[in-house]
Structure 1
């Protein structure tokens, strides 16, 4: 094992960007990209659109909206107990595989007080019965559940059932137009939405292989951080003979698919704007391959992946936010003239995607010193872009 090849941090960075489709935009379809990435975080509707725009040639918002409407992509709770988008066929096995982390939410005080004393199997059975053959908002679903379980909080009951039973969210909740969480979420039994039953058992080996294709090489801890699951070392050990073993500069053991390409550490990469919670930012326990520990600590209270960021030379160098037709850029440190030009060029393209019909679009550099990135400050540098 000591003879395992060692990969530098820059080699890991370039390999991650290659596998995340961030070194060059692809001509693949949005469906193919979502499938490759396994799942895209989609708690706030607009972010997956940005994640696809930054990876695809000529991506149009209508493409993802159609995939949701046509039920080819499912919006639901999955990895890390958060809302993601996944290809319908992948959701069938992915949700049962990550069900342990999803179910763990029921132990939180937020739910525990409202479901204490209930037979959870009975609650799940009743929930299935009430939802069968129809789509209801969580509020409507909760009111029906309270009729069967009087004296309980309808919202907590509805959410508890959704934790135990795989459901798909109505496509309107994933439509372009909101930077925040949708206020009302319609839910449907996932097997009815997909027209196929969910997988009968977890498929952790499938999940690990798919993860490595899009995020590898990676440690067991990386796989666990991405999925939210624990105790995966035994699974990986059982797969060891089917995997390639490498090491990072710290000596940590990395696993990868045999024959998966490794990028040249010297490979130049373009500026890229990433949405909040992007796969590339949240795919590892050790995220230093894309963001330094010092920069990550700037956002410890909101999680480093929970803020939209931009990459320069492959690494996070600042944050961005949008106010209408204004794009705000907050670099962590001074950019060179060439870096500034590259950032502004990509920012122009992003803003055109976000605010296509705006008669005037603006880009502003704002202060990074713990100032909220979604607030414009008078007197700071503004670059005007007229469409």
Structure 2
């Protein structure tokens, strides 16, 4: 069985994530290919698309959101993701058990004794008038009936787990700081969520998730797939499509799956500098992140730091404060790497257009 080392896996990931060469595709097509973008920080998807799409302009994402082609909703790992309308409708029911389980796991004591189906029915009844509501407004309509749980906990239970919701624009639009207003997903899109198949009909959504994940993240192990979406029960879906896949091993002996015709560039393929947003799924989409970040720095992927890829790997963090774009290397950079980082930083500063007057590259002691 062919063994793929971290560099080979790195180049495959960069190719699948449009980080080797910026793609010339429409925003909804890119969001669909990437299986969504992490969006808990509302402005980060713009950076995520800028570093992946040729000539990306923020208005293209704004149009996709206001035109209801893409939506902000709780989905993978119970985090807010920007996904296409079609994927939100097709995938949401498959995520129900995970979303409930994660909220209960976090607030088990506060939610003890609640009938979740009863709470869900009440939440849907409140939202039946199709009037957008903040979480506070929704909780105010429910708290007399369930006065026990803290408001925040009851609201998170309903909005993040029990009633499929969309966070409406202007939340998430370019340079908007609007608060969260929620509306049921089906109301916003004018179509019901696809139901789970009846018992005995298998798991077509699970099989689709496997294929789609591998197209954007492969080659990958089953543990990587679960880390990306947070779902259990997917080993059966992997087994169901295994005959369609090719199998490799990584340097640690893990079995990796991939689509036969997906790109796996030569390990020596040059990789350009890329500035990634916070919580980018190119890092968070794996259980084993060694293909893209060193073990000593893996914490930056969950701490909310924006990162810089140099030769395909996390080599620095970056931030904008006042009029300065500051880059903090995690290792020594060569003179050529510093030049490339500064050049891409200038492009990023022009995109952000925040009156950035200084680009500062820290030195490593």
Shorter-chain TM-score tier: over 0.9
1:131 aligns with 2:127: yes
Residue 164 of structure 1 corresponds to: 162
Q: What SS does the corresponding residue of 1:108 show, helix, strand or coil?
A: helix
- In 2, the alpha carbon distance for the partners of 1:263 and 1:151 equals 56
Residue 240 of structure 2 corresponds to: 238
Q: What SS does the corresponding residue of 2:357 show, helix, strand or coil?
A: strand
Q: Please, which of 310, 313, 316 is the counterpart of residue 315 of structure 1?
A: 313
The answer on whether the counterparts of 2:110 and 2:148 sit within 8 Å (CA) in structure 1 is no
1:190 aligns with 2:185: yes
Deviations 1:80-103 (A, max 9, x none): 111110000011122222222211
Quote the offset at 1:366 in angstroms: 3.2
Q: Please, which of 107, 112, 115 is the counterpart of residue 116 of structure 1?
A: 112
Q: Please, which of 217, 220, 239 is the counterpart of residue 218 of structure 1?
A: 220
Normalized against structure 2, the TM-score is what?
A: 0.92
Quote the offset at 1:274 in angstroms: 0.5
* Aligned CA distance change for structure 1 residues 338 and 367 (closer, same or farther; 3 Å): closer
- In 2, the alpha carbon distance for the partners of 1:246 and 1:101 equals 29
1:145 aligns with 2:146: no
Q: What SS does the corresponding residue of 1:177 show, helix, strand or coil?
A: coil
Normalized against structure 1, the TM-score is what?
A: 0.87
- In 2, the alpha carbon distance for the partners of 1:97 and 1:137 equals 25
Q: What SS does the corresponding residue of 1:38 show, helix, strand or coil?
A: coil
- In 1, the alpha carbon distance for the partners of 2:252 and 2:153 equals 45
Quote the offset at 1:176 in angstroms: 2.5
What 5-or-longer segments of structure 1 have no aligned partner?
A: 370-387
Q: What SS does the corresponding residue of 2:22 show, helix, strand or coil?
A: coil
* Aligned CA distance change for structure 1 residues 11 and 128 (closer, same or farther; 3 Å): same
- In 2, the alpha carbon distance for the partners of 1:209 and 1:327 equals 38
* Aligned CA distance change for structure 1 residues 346 and 131 (closer, same or farther; 3 Å): same
Residue 102 of structure 1 corresponds to: 99
CA RMSD, Structure 1 to Structure 2 (Å): 1.9
The answer on whether the counterparts of 1:319 and 1:330 sit within 8 Å (CA) in structure 2 is yes
Q: What SS does the corresponding residue of 2:40 show, helix, strand or coil?
A: coil
- In 2, the alpha carbon distance for the partners of 1:145 and 1:247 equals 51
1:75 aligns with 2:72: yes
Q: Please, which of 46, 53, 58 is the counterpart of residue 56 of structure 1?
A: 53
The answer on whether the counterparts of 2:246 and 2:260 sit within 8 Å (CA) in structure 1 is yes
Deviations 1:91-120 (A, max 9, x none): 1122222222211133235x3344332221
Quote the offset at 1:305 in angstroms: 6.6
Quote the offset at 1:323 in angstroms: 1.0
- In 1, the alpha carbon distance for the partners of 2:58 and 2:23 equals 16
Residue 273 of structure 2 corresponds to: 271
- In 2, the alpha carbon distance for the partners of 1:31 and 1:103 equals 28
Deviations 1:216-237 (A, max 9, x none): 0100011011111234223212
- In 2, the alpha carbon distance for the partners of 1:80 and 1:25 equals 27
